[in-house]
Amino acid sequence: MLVGASQETGSVGHAVLTNLLREADRFELHAVNPHKLVIPGAHCHTGIQTVPPGPALAVIAIPARLVPDVLRKLAAKGIGLAVIISAGLGKTTEPGQEMLRVAREAGIRIIGPNCLGIILPHMGINASFASHDAPAGELALLSQSGAIASAMVEWAAPHGVGFSAILSIGDMAQTGFDELLELLAADPQTRAILIYMEGLDDGRAFVKAARAVTAIKPVIVLKAGRGTVAGRAALSHTGALAGSWEVYRAAFHEAGIVTASSLDALFDAAAMLDDVPELPGERLAIVTNGGGAGVLALDAMEVTSAPLAELSDDTVSRLDAVLPPGWSRANPVDIIGDAGSARYRAAMEAVLADDGVDAVLAMNCPTGLLMPGEAARAVADAAGSVPRKKPVIACWLGDANRASSHEVLGAARIPEFSTPAQAIRAFGYATAARWARVQILPDGASAPDVDAIVRGDAIIDAVLADNRHLLSEIEAKGLLAAFGIPVVSTQFAATAELAEQACTELPAPYAIKIVSPDITHKSDFGGVVLGLADAAAVRQAARAMAKRIATRFPEARIEGFAIQPMIRRKAAHELFAGIACDPSFGPVILFGAGGTAIEVIDDKSIALPPVHLERAKQLIGETRIARLLSGYRNVPATDQTAVAEVIAALSNIALALPRIAELDINPLIADADGVVALDARVVLRK
């Protein structure tokens, strides 16, 4: 049923009607408009009342203020699903709230509002105002932008890419990515899913739903708005992350979703997954009639880091027999520019038969000697003739070329690209989707013991009771220690004299730091003194420090001093580990290079908890400083397991103590002998 059907060209109601009419013989189409319409192929009504009960789907393209009332009438007809194209029904608007209330009461599921509509090509339903129809196929598209969905529809047909569903979800007032992902996971016609996303309200629900899907089908996402970092002021630097692209990327990783870098990349991924939703392996062989094109493919592989297949001696001998002398005798296989059909086919067959090859990229550079269509035929024949079927990807350079090879390759389900970079990028997405699937996260997480949670909660209770949200350094370290994170033992002393006494508990030499709720970056105000030889020096330094800060920052409340033994480790690294909270994904775990230059160095990786030991090691590997941690020259390798244990412990803290808003350990000192947290800051939620 279409509510708001129109015969006025250029109107949304007319565009949707035109699309629906195209295959209206496959279902019963009821068109509703207060004016009496006559439309061949549709039953016309001036009101919903006259529509007979039964329609499964209603499409609504009418002014926003009329939508709630129409929904009420649809409920009476037993409608279960309404696609609301109309805009102006935001969550804060009155008709928007009314729309949701009616839908909830009537049990109507809403897609939209403010969307392009939905297209279900296998059922012949195009309930959208897209300018074209989409061919039936095995890809599903979920798009938060109608314009991008529409561009994808336009792009797909000439590229021979088909869809199981195109769902433009607009404002996601009721139905979001998570529900639709669950639906698509179960849909047998969908073999891979593409997503265009602008933002999420409930990131956790999305990750959970996506995880279930990516275990069985590849999911590729294009996230728009990467540059717009939520620049809100933050007490600690972790806070600035909130809502940023980096958190989304971590969440996609966690969910097994592959990230496309641009719309072009999403198109390439679509072309690939449409024909090859699943790869048997990732060792790629390249067969080309142009050496330059082969080199460009290798250059592109540097980025995706997919392994180049190594040809067996057997295959090289087979190729020797069919190729002219002077061929490359290795992968990429350059069959030389004067290659004809027979040489293409023989080379492809030899390479496809190699057990060390999982997939083959066949390339064709235009020459005046062999028609591109003939080359395509030879490649398609070879792909069809080998006993064990392997994916073949085609790169036919030049667009004019493409037209003549298109039909042959399309029929053989060989995805086709027009440049080496596109082909390799698309293959990269397929391998990434494969990795996301085969990578099983170990569940060997060491859950925190109850005692740790009780001790952590007690510290937090005391701080809140004191009407504070910032833990003192000593409280913060106590919390870390409860969860098994090694901390440097620290004593609190209210006065310089007590600081001197505190030294009897600790080994010399000493470091002292100011304890003040008002000073965030202690060293900036002379609030840190290192390398004090004995207790007397500590007393003197504490006095001088109190005086200094009173001058430089008179408003600061000074509570006392933290005294700790100097940690001297030769060739130790200063790391950082922490917890931040994202508005849509909740707590995230951070790791990276630490020290006072942390913001400037900006070397970090992010994961969503739970972070088990193995995932923590991956997280370490994603940073630049990981290269230093592996040891070099005469610096031995750092104990990375000890570092990973700290990250896993932070994951436990994040999950067990939800009242924590931000937690920074900086620096976390690490070397071959293990780790120790020198300083920590913990901020509680307001």
Site residues for a second copy, 422-481, by CB under 8 A, read 422
3-state secondary structure of 108: coil
- Out of 48, 148, 193, 353, which residue is the one contacting a second copy (CB under 8 A)? 148
Site for a second copy in 397-426 (CB under 8 A): 397-401, 418-422
Instruction: Give the per-residue contact string, 290-309, with a second copy (x = CB under 8 A; - = no).
Output: xxxx-xx-xxxxx-------
Tokens of 32: 């509703």
CB of 498 to a second copy, least distance (A): 27
Select 451 or 599, whichever has its Cβ closest to a second copy: 599
Stretch that binds a second copy, among 146-154, 550-558, 656-664, 672-680 (CB under 8 A): 146-154
**CA 560 to the chain's CA centroid:** 45
Select 19 or 331, whichever has its Cβ closest to a second copy: 19
Select 224 or 230, whichever has its Cβ closest to a second copy: 224
CB of 324 to a second copy, least distance (A): 11
Select 102 or 166, whichever has its Cβ closest to a second copy: 166
Stretch that binds a second copy, among 274-282, 499-507, 592-600, 659-667 (CB under 8 A): 592-600
Residues 6+ apart with CB under 8 A from 527: 513, 514, 516, 519, 545, 549
Asked if residue 28 binds a second copy (CB under 8 A), the reply is: no
Number of residues located near a second copy, criterion CB under 8 A: 89
Under 8 Å between Cβ of 34 and 45:
no
- Out of 6, 33, 145, 175, which residue is the one contacting a second copy (CB under 8 A)? 145
Task: Indicate the burial class of 221 (C-beta count within 10 angstroms; 0-12, 13-18, 19 or more).
Answer: buried
Asked if residue 530 binds a second copy (CB under 8 A), the reply is: no
Phi and psi at 393, nearest 5°, equal -115, 140
CB of 524 to a second copy, least distance (A): 5
Site for a second copy in 531-590 (CB under 8 A): none
Under 8 Å between Cβ of 315 and 348:
no
Asked if residue 244 binds a second copy (CB under 8 A), the reply is: no
How many DSSP H helices and E strands does the chain contain? 22, 28
Asked if residue 367 binds a second copy (CB under 8 A), the reply is: yes
Q: Where are the alpha helices (DSSP H) in 323-412?
A: 341-352, 372-385, 399-411
3-state secondary structure of 417: strand
Q: What is the largest CA-CA distance in the chain?
A: 99
- Out of 7, 18, 97, 501, which residue is the one contacting a second copy (CB under 8 A)? 18
CA distance 402 to 372: 8
CA distance 525 to 550: 10
Site for a second copy in 510-529 (CB under 8 A): 521, 523-524
CA distance 419 to 361: 12
CB of 326 to a second copy, least distance (A): 9
Read out DSSP for 206-217? Answer: HHHHHHHHHTTS
Phi and psi at 648, nearest 5°, equal -65, -40
Stretch that binds a second copy, among 57-65, 139-147, 379-387, 653-661 (CB under 8 A): 139-147
CB of 294 to a second copy, least distance (A): 9
**CA 513 to the chain's CA centroid:** 40
Tokens of 380: 């398609």
Instruction: Give the per-residue contact string, 598-617, with a second copy (x = CB under 8 A; - = no).
Output: -xxxx---------------
Phi and psi at 269, nearest 5°, equal -60, -40
CA distance 63 to 61: 7
Select 124 or 610, whichever has its Cβ closest to a second copy: 124
Residue among 682, 661, 131, 220 nearest 428 (CA):
220
Asked if residue 11 binds a second copy (CB under 8 A), the reply is: yes
Task: Indicate the burial class of 618 (C-beta count within 10 angstroms; 0-12, 13-18, 19 or more).
Answer: middle
Select 182 or 639, whichever has its Cβ closest to a second copy: 639
CB of 425 to a second copy, least distance (A): 9
Site for a second copy in 614-633 (CB under 8 A): 624, 627-628, 630, 632-633
Under 8 Å between Cβ of 663 and 683:
yes
CB of 27 to a second copy, least distance (A): 20
Which secondary structure element, helix H or strand E, spans residue 466, and what is its range? none
- Out of 53, 188, 227, 444, which residue is the one contacting a second copy (CB under 8 A)? 227
Count how many Cα atoms sit within 13 Å of the Cα of residue 177 in the half-sphere of its side chain: 28
CA distance 149 to 147: 5
Q: Partners of 196 in the beta sheet?
A: 143, 222
- Out of 104, 226, 329, 552, which residue is the one contacting a second copy (CB under 8 A)? 226
Site for a second copy in 167-196 (CB under 8 A): 196
- Out of 73, 132, 208, 548, which residue is the one contacting a second copy (CB under 8 A)? 132
Select 117 or 478, whichever has its Cβ closest to a second copy: 117
- Give the Cβ contact number of residue 466 at 10 Å: 10
Asked if residue 130 binds a second copy (CB under 8 A), the reply is: yes
C-alpha distances in Å from residue 242, one per residue of 105, 246, 564, 597, 621: 35, 9, 33, 21, 23
- Out of 153, 195, 241, 644, which residue is the one contacting a second copy (CB under 8 A)? 153
Select 77 or 249, whichever has its Cβ closest to a second copy: 249
CB of 382 to a second copy, least distance (A): 20
Select 124 or 199, whichever has its Cβ closest to a second copy: 199
Instruction: Give the per-residue contact string, 77-116, with a second copy (x = CB under 8 A; - = no).
Output: ----------------------------------------
CB of 683 to a second copy, least distance (A): 19
Under 8 Å between Cβ of 163 and 134:
yes
Select 338 or 505, whichever has its Cβ closest to a second copy: 338
- Out of 97, 312, 596, 640, which residue is the one contacting a second copy (CB under 8 A)? 596
Q: Where are the alpha helices (DSSP H) in 200-326?
A: 203-214, 245-255, 263-275, 291-304, 313-322
Select 70 or 271, whichever has its Cβ closest to a second copy: 271
Asked if residue 289 binds a second copy (CB under 8 A), the reply is: yes
Select 323 or 648, whichever has its Cβ closest to a second copy: 323
- 122 Rama class: left (phi>0) / alpha (psi -120 to 50) / beta: alpha
